[in-house]
Amino acid sequence: MGKISSVLLSLCSLPYLCFRIYIHAIYFHICTFLE
């Protein structure tokens, strides 16, 4: 039971993680573009 819930939790947090990485990549790209 604990194993399944932890897997579900990681699956739910995965899109959020990808979104953060995506935002950081765009932010970094804009900063390097402005320099």
Q: What is the per-residue pLDDT for 26? A: 92
Q: Which residue has the tokens 């804009």?
A: 30
Select the more confidently predicted residue: 9 or 35.
Answer: 9
d(CA 9, CA 32): 35
Domain map (residue ranges) of the chain: 1-35
pTM confidence score: 0.51
pLDDT digits (tens, 9 = 90+) for 11-34: 778 888 889 999 999 998 888 888
d(CA 26, CA 32): 10
